[in-house]
Amino acid sequence: MKILNVNQIRELDQYTIQHEPIAPINLMERASEAFADWFVAKFPATRPVKIFCGLGNNGGDGMAVARMLLQLDYNVEVNVVRYAPRESDDCAHNHRRLKLLTNPNYIEKPQDMPALRHNEIVIDAILGSGLSRPTEGIVKTVIEAINRSPAMVISIDIASGLYADRPNQPGDVIVEPDYTLTFQLPKLAFLLPKNSRYVGNWQVLDIRLSRRYIDQTRTLYYYTNPEEARLLLRTRDRFSHKGTFGHALLLAGSYGKIGAALLASRACLRSGVGLLTVQTPRCGYDILQTNVPEAMCRPDQHEHVLTGMSDISGPDFSEYSAVGVGPGIGQSPETVSMLRGLLQSLRKPAVFDADALNILAKNRDLLGLLPERSILTPHPKEFERLTQRWENDYDKLEILQDFARRYDVVVVLKGAHTAIATPEGEVHFNSTGNPGLSTGGTGDVLTGVITALLAQGYDPVEASVLGVYSHGLAGDIAAANRGQIGLTATDVIEHLRWNM
């Protein structure tokens, strides 16, 4: 799913109006109906509703929604925040229609603000994607009162005061909704961690804006939806054999962290790899052979850390279709040498995670040795070590895109809505996953999943997008079974589903 910026969204509205064609007021009616349908399906008419409308088209949506809910016998009070002398044409039209049904309350000064109570629902239609400056004066006062109130808050299209595609400043006053119902496509702002309280649970309502405009419009930002993930997944040929699905090598574990190697190995096997070899320090050999009988094990010559050297065969990585390195490996000098040797001999993309990334951050000359289109899977702290501190989430995105372009790699920046940057500078935000995944070992699982997909011949971007999606989906299924709080990395492995 594409993510468009505010100018593109405006063009999309205009294009739809001209080419469908549809009158602007009817498009507003369609958007408001979509919102009202969602609302009516979720909340009974016994819950009192207070709608706060601005004077632009977002306010117009709010007034149309008010009319629709009144006609369905909801108890609705409309508050128009009069911060300017003029309304937009479509807002004025809906204002006139609304006044045939009810007398709105007009808020011009703080005393005009009504009290908000616990069981009430506030609908925020003060400002939408047309926000062009920080909120101030009476708008700011109303937003502060809404945020102080115990009422449930639902924003139409976007929280009033939040920019859809650029950073807000500290101190900006923004509605803090429980829900945001947005139109047609997600907004970039929804996917950035620092905006979490200004978004709440969000959902996209389809209002049939022009498919053609969306298809032909260029963007760097995407949101992976279920259909797109499903399309990436390859079906298996009836005459396939284990050789068809690649041979992965995982370099993982050190004394005290053999668990990381186990988790990555099990996840790799549960993600369709044909064959798996795991190289761990000698201390991990029995553990691995006992607990993951499907995997072959290459014991490292070293008892406690990875050196890359094994009695079974030398450090020849060319026989593997994909290599994944990092989970639990530590940063001993021997392991740093191993990584250097690996980078010097690797000829195809590999997956780098955890301490492999920390070693890269401390030995920056190694970054130049990364095979092109390799996959790096940092969490934000690891990414900061590889790059620099960022001022805000938009700044971080730019650093992410620059890094992926500069080193010709795919960077999987993990977290809620994991952001996958491609060497071409595109960013794919993930749609699955939940806070239950914030627990040790889930990153090791992800490394196993992505390594398996790479070994099966998926292109590195596809392996990352599909791997991150499936990993998050497994977390969601596991959380549905047992709740987020008790979720472990092993649960994620056990809930991987490839019949999406």
Ligand X SMILES: NC(=O)C1=CN([C@@H]2O[C@H](COP(=O)(O)OP(=O)(O)OC[C@H]3O[C@@H](n4cnc5c(N)ncnc54)[C@H](O)[C@@H]3O)[C@@H](O)[C@H]2O)[C@@H](O)CC1
Ligand Y SMILES: Nc1ncnc2c1ncn2[C@@H]1O[C@H](COP(=O)(O)OP(=O)(O)O)[C@@H](O)[C@H]1O
Is residue 414 close enough to count as binding ligand Y by CB under 6 A?
Answer: yes
By CB atoms closer than 10 A (0-12, 13-18, 19+), residue 176 is: buried
Taking CB under 6 A as the criterion, the residue among 157, 334, 382, 476 binding ligand X is 157
Residue 6, amino acid: V
Taking CB under 6 A as the criterion, the residue among 3, 31, 146, 263 binding ligand X is 31
Is residue 88 close enough to count as binding ligand X by CB under 6 A?
Answer: yes
Name the residue among 277, 291, 269, 279 with its Cα closest to residue 248: 277
Is residue 160 close enough to count as binding K ion by CB under 5 A?
Answer: yes
Q: How far is CA 3 from CA 22, 35, 158, 204, 464, in A?
A: 23, 20, 14, 12, 19
Name the residue among 244, 228, 247 with its Cα closest to residue 236: 244
For the annotated binding site, the residues are 57-61, 124, 128-134, 157, 160, 260, 328, 379, 414-418, 443-444
Q: How far is CA 146 from CA 74, 121, 140, 213, 346, in A?
A: 20, 11, 10, 36, 57
For the annotated binding site for K(+), the residues are 58, 124, 160
Is residue 440 close enough to count as binding ligand Y by CB under 6 A?
Answer: yes
Largest CA distance in the chain: 86
Bond from prior residue into 21 cis (ω within 30 degrees of 0) = yes
Binders of ligand X among 119-138, rule CB under 6 A? 127-135
Cβ nearer to K ion, comparing 144 with 459: 144
**Residue 319 contacts residue 294 (beta carbons within 8 Å):** no
* Contacting range for ligand X; rule: CB under 6 A; set: 56-64, 297-305, 319-327, 453-461: 56-64
Is residue 155 close enough to count as binding K ion by CB under 5 A?
Answer: yes
DSSP string, 319-340: T-SEEEE-TT----HHHHHHHH
Binders of K ion among 306-335, rule CB under 5 A? none
* Contacting range for K ion; rule: CB under 5 A; set: 87-95, 121-129, 245-253, 438-446: 121-129
**Residue 41 contacts residue 200 (beta carbons within 8 Å):** no
For the annotated binding site for (6S)-NADPHX, the residues are 57-61, 128-134, 157, 260, 328, 379, 444
Structure tokens at 489: 């990395």
Is residue 432 close enough to count as binding ligand X by CB under 6 A?
Answer: no
CB of 470 to ligand Y, least distance (A): 11
139 C-beta neighbours (distance < 10 Å), count? 22
Residues making contact with K ion (CB under 5 A): 58, 124, 155-156, 160
Residues making contact with ligand Y (CB under 6 A): 354, 379, 414-416, 418, 433-435, 437-438, 440-444, 446, 471
Residues making contact with ligand X (CB under 6 A): 13, 24, 27-28, 31, 54, 56-59, 61, 83, 88, 127-135, 139, 156-157, 183
